[in-house]
Amino acid sequence: EAVLQDIERLGPDLVVMAGDFAFGGPWPGECIDLVRSRGIPAVRGNTDEFLVEVATGGTQPAQVDDPRLRHLENPAMAERYRWCAEQLSREQVEYLASLPLRYAVPAPTGAVLVVVHATPWSAHPVVPPNAPREQLEELLERSGGAALAYGHIHLQVRWELDGRLVVAVGSVGLPFDGDQQAAYTVLEWNGERWGVTFRRVAYPVEQTIEALRSSGMPGAELQVRVLETARPPGT
């Protein structure tokens, strides 16, 4: 809500949600409904795929090849996914399942901005903040865009590659850079190229922590720790 209020003050032409709607917080269904009520287009994240897998009893499995990236192999995480899936309606699950992997934003000159959660071909691979140039070039080539924006790593990073752009946009709910403020990114076409502005928005983190502790979520204290430290689990 705080980020949406900040966005309203800026008045952008378009808002795109880069995936991971519902896992890890105390209000999974409410988060989905809030974004949808604003008519915000979205792409699907890795946690969205795992939620659909759990909610459908495995009939719609997450499309992940690397077993190390399968959250459901971790019993504690699987319990949290089950709890989260139980909070969602069938219609909300169907919505998550319907989300595309990519969303293209055109520019007047044809310099398309492509929004994904992780990569244009999968919601699961990790593109780290120290990604080699070859990995970034593959992202751009396979996206078909002049710029690519992605989430997944919960950090804000930008790379320039011969006039093209790759941006990690950060995380609203679970930033991993030590700053509790919600993180999102504004991309603006200036007539020649895409520009980037990283934004941070303060919100009442303690209120979310209290809601987590009273939510009944298994392993809620682990999620509380992530919110308190703004760092990945186990760090």
pLDDT in tens, 104-121: 999 878 899 999 999 999
pLDDT bracket for residue 222 (50, 70, 90):
very high
β-strands 147-150, 113-116: how paired?
Answer: parallel
Residue-averaged pLDDT of the chain = 96
Q: What tokens does 173 get?
A: 């709910």
pLDDT value of residue 110: 84
Q: Mean pLDDT over residues 29-36, rounded?
A: 97
Instruction: Give the pair of three-digit tokens for residue 199.
Output: 């934004």
* Average pLDDT value for residue range 4-15: 97
- What are the structural domain ranges in the chain? 2-229
Q: Does domain 2-229 have CATH number 3.60.21.10?
A: yes
- Of residues 162 and 235, more confidence is placed in 162
Q: Express each pLDDT in 176-217 by its tens digit.
A: 999 999 999 999 999 889 999 999 999 999 999 999 999 999
What is the pairing mode between strands 113-116 and 102-105? antiparallel
H/E element, 195: strand 194-201
Q: Which residue bears the tokens 């089950």?
A: 82
